[in-house]
Amino acid sequence: MKTGTIAARKPGRLIERLARSVRKSGHDIQSVCRLTGIEAGQIRFLETEFGQYFSPDGGCARLTTFDDYQVELIQRLHQGLFVEGRTVSDIHLELQKKTGAGRAPVHIIAVTSGKGGVGKTTLSINLAIAMKRGGNRVLLVDGDMGMGNVHILTRLTPKHTIADVLQGRTAIDEAVTQGPGDIHILCGGSGVSGLADMKAAVIAQLGQRLRLLGDQFDVVVIDTGAGVSSQVLEFIKMADDLVLVTTPDVAAMLDGYGVLKVARESGIACPAHVLINQVDKPEESDMVYERIRACSERYLGDQPHFLGSLKRDRSLHHANRERQPIALVKPRAAAVKHFDRLAKILHPKTNGKSADKTRGTL
């Protein structure tokens, strides 16, 4: 077996093996500790985090005995997580690939920006609705720690927020709220100091949980905070695609490139896309993208994909002022057509059609 990989059996074979282990004597946890040199607390942690690979029904009840396969699995999980320093999310993904467990993995899209006020949240909301209209089951996550406003722009008063999930007070399922356009939303907290100080490791655990939502959602859109904080980077690490929103404003453009730079230097390799918002003339967007592209190619060895641009639009401003997504109040608006196009580019299964990846200004 190759170093750095986690062994896993097909679900059916695993269930059969576990069923046999119930009928025979196995190793109790003290025996497993002696055999492996792993502490009991770590074993229970692994059993909780990777319960579907230990229990026939995927439950989280603690086992009283462990068979040989389960002992081997504990050793492999411990090696990957505590020795090699891999993340829980990475190990889950590898196990899912090896076992074929669950549905197709959820597609996570992180929408970010270098500075605030560029229209990132507006894009996230309307993109999520466009994804839903294209036949996907969509979860929108407000990842702006402490200053989230997705709930404000969608007229929601959530019973629970992402703060409750991160602080262990409730499960994701219980915190998710039905939103406009039949999307689901995990709302953020506004003015919550505890969220602003949330450790990156805690956010990484949220990413692992989001990855396991493939049986409930096809797409997760994360509206991150602006800038390059450790929290923003953790949300970007979760993503299969990164969408950078910027404007022709010089500061927004430079800060936007800064996000790409820090992400690449942090080892984040997911495809990056650039959308230029609040454009007055098409040539403005071409100029902004070209500068970001040239810097990325020269200094990062990478070229982000150009998603085109959105013109400065009073109807978008009016919809935000009324706290309603423009995709619902003006479904024939030019901006809405662009959101639909973005949905097909970022998640080609939308509407079951291949996306036209040519850029454009609307």
Yes or no: say if 310 and 338 are a contact pair by the CB < 8 Å rule.
yes
In 3D space, the residue among 65, 57, 111, 362 whose CA is nearest the CA of residue 240 turns out to be 111
Write down the pLDDT at residue 12: 44
Write down the pLDDT at residue 226: 95
122, burial (CB in 10 Å: exposed 0-12, middle 13-18, buried 19+): buried
Write down the pLDDT at residue 5: 54
- Name residue 238's beta-bridge partners: none
CA pair distance 277, 284, nearest whole angstrom? 10
Q: Whole-structure pTM over 0.85, yes or no? A: no
Amino acid occupying residue 85: G
What are the tokens at 22?
A: 């119930």
Place of tokens 């997760």: 220
CA pair distance 274, 260, nearest whole angstrom? 10
pLDDT digits (tens, 9 = 90+) for 278-331: 999 989 999 999 999 999 999 999 999 999 999 998 899 899 999 999 999 999
Given a cut of 70, the residues of the chain with pLDDT beneath it are 1-25, 52, 55-62, 96-104, 191-194, 196, 351-362
Which helix or strand (DSSP H or E) is residue 75 part of?
Answer: helix 68-78
As a whole-number percent, the residues of the chain with pLDDT over 90 amount to 55
In 3D space, the residue among 143, 123, 121 whose CA is nearest the CA of residue 207 turns out to be 143
CA pair distance 176, 196, nearest whole angstrom? 20
Write down the pLDDT at residue 10: 44
Write down the pLDDT at residue 3: 45
Write down the pLDDT at residue 97: 60
Q: Distances in Å between the alpha carbon of 219 and those of 241, 288, 291, 348?
A: 11, 29, 31, 11
Amino acid occupying residue 261: K
Which helix or strand (DSSP H or E) is residue 190 part of?
Answer: none
Domain ranges of the chain: 11-99, 107-352
Write down the pLDDT at residue 110: 98
Write down the pLDDT at residue 155: 95
Write down the pLDDT at residue 96: 67
In the CATH hierarchy, which top-level class contains the domain 107-352?
A: alpha beta
Write down the pLDDT at residue 193: 63
Compute the 3-state secondary structure of the chain and give helix, strand, coil in percent, each to the nearest 5. Answer: 50, 15, 35
